[in-house]
Copies of this chain bind each other. A is one copy, B any other.
Amino acid sequence: MDIRSELKAHEIKYTKQREEVLSILKASMLPMTINQLRDQLEVEMDLSTIYRILDVLLEKEIITKTVPLEPSQALYDYKRHIHKHHLICTICGKIQIIEGCPLHDYEHQVEAKTQYIIDRHQLELYGVCPNCQIH
């Protein structure tokens, strides 16, 4: 599906800024910070515009947001069919994608125990990548 249709499918008004932000996120295999996103823009746009677009995409659950422990700048990620988490190297910052999620059953158990209705979670792992273990 092209970006234009994807926006329409979510009832988001088309603008070239929204198209560009979404297509950059969609093309990236790794989650991105606002600054990384801005650096990839072909047409410059104001940071406040980017923030507002990300808010819309989050609202519609087209992307996800994560706030890592360090550096604590938010990461935005296009939501694909495979739910995934990140393993972040605390030395070099490299992000390793971990496909799948270990929390399905756990969330149900917690719902049963607490009576909360759980609708999402934030999980990242932190450690040292193979490369940084050597150097």
Contact = CB atoms under 8 A, between A and B. Distances in A.
How many monomers of this chain does the complex have? 2
A122 B119 contact: no
Contacts of A96: 114, 116
Interface string A80-120: 00000001011000001010001100110011011111111
Interface string A121-135: 111111111100100
A72 interface: yes
A67 interface: yes
Contacts of A124: 121-122
Contacts of A89: 116
11 contacts: A66-B69, A68-B122, A69-B122, A87-B116, A89-B116, A107-B125, A111-B127, A119-B127, A121-B124, A122-B123, A122-B124
Interface of A: 65-69, 72, 74, 87, 89-90, 96, 98, 102-103, 106-107, 110-111, 113-130, 133
